[in-house]
Amino acid sequence: MVTVFRSGGMRVIIFIDDHEPAHVHVFGDGHAKINLVPEPVLVWAEGMTRGELRKAMKIVVEQRNSLLTRWRTIHG
């Protein structure tokens, strides 16, 4: 597991042994999985409020290109 970005009390993680499609896991008080391709989309979330989900999605949308670059660096 690699923390690739931190913002506003949230950590964006890429698991080293994870699978396609390219996605990240965002941890705050809960946990969300967000696909990066073709565009960021929420796959599922547990224990996050609507506000936290909006914040997580905003982070991923704004950082999508750098997160996708890190995904490709880690997974090839």
pLDDT in tens, 1-56: 999 999 999 999 999 999 999 999 999 999 999 999 999 999 999 999 999 999 99
For the chain, give every domain's residue range: 2-75
Question: What are the φ/ψ torsions at residue 41 (nearest 5 degrees)?
Answer: -145, 135
**Contacts of 71-74 spanning 24+ positions with Cβ under 8 A:** 71/14, 71/22, 71/23, 71/24, 71/36, 72/22, 74/2, 74/14, 74/16
Indicate the pTM of the whole model. Answer: 0.95
The pLDDT assigned to 17 comes to: 93
